[in-house]
Structure 1
Amino acid sequence: MRRIQPFHLAVPVYNLDECRNFYRDILGCEEGRSSDHWVDFNFFGHQLVIHYKPKEDTRDTHTNAVDGKAVPVPHFGVVLAWDDFQDFANHLKNKHVDFVIEPYIRFEGLVGEQATMFFYDPSGNALEFKAFKDQTQLFAK
Structure 2
Amino acid sequence: MAVLSPFHLAFPVHDLAAARRFYGELLGCPEGRSSEAWVDFDLHGHQIVAHLSPHECSAVATSAVDGDAVPVRHFGVVLPMADWQALADRLTAAGTCFVIEPHVRFKGEVGEQATMFFLDPSGNALEFKAFADIGQLFAK
Q: TM-score, normalised by structure 2?
A: 0.95
Q: Which runs of 5+ in 1 are unaligned?
A: none
Residue 117 of structure 1 aligns to which amino acid in structure 2? M
Task: Name 2:22's counterpart in structure 1.
Answer: 22
Q: Pairwise mapping of residues 107-126 of structure 1 onto structure 2 (< 5 A)?
A: 107-126=106-125
SS state at 2:83 partner: helix
Residue 90 of structure 1 aligns to which amino acid in structure 2? D
Structure-2 separation of matches of 1:32 and 1:111: 38
Matched, 1:66 2:86: no
Residue 51 of structure 1 aligns to which amino acid in structure 2? H
Residue 26 of structure 2 aligns to which amino acid in structure 1? I
Structure-2 separation of matches of 1:30 and 1:109: 36
Task: Name 1:7's counterpart in structure 2.
Answer: 7
Structure-2 separation of matches of 1:108 and 1:14: 37
Aligned-residue CA RMSD in angstroms?
A: 1.4
Structure-1 separation of matches of 2:16 and 2:83: 28
Cα displacement string for residues 69-104 of structure 1 (whole angstroms, at most 9, x for unaligned residues): 100110000001012211110011112211000000
Structure-1 separation of matches of 2:79 and 2:131: 8
Identity %: 61
Cα displacement string for residues 20-63 of structure 1 (whole angstroms, at most 9, x for unaligned residues): 1110011000001100000001111100100000336x834310
SS state at 2:64 partner: strand
SS state at 2:19 partner: helix
Q: Pairwise mapping of residues 1-141 of structure 1 onto structure 2 (< 5 A)?
A: 2-55=2-55, 59-141=58-140
Residue 105 of structure 2 aligns to which amino acid in structure 1? R
Structure-2 separation of matches of 1:108 and 1:4: 27
Structure-2 separation of matches of 1:59 and 1:39: 20
Structure 1 runs of 4+ with >2 Å offset: 58-61
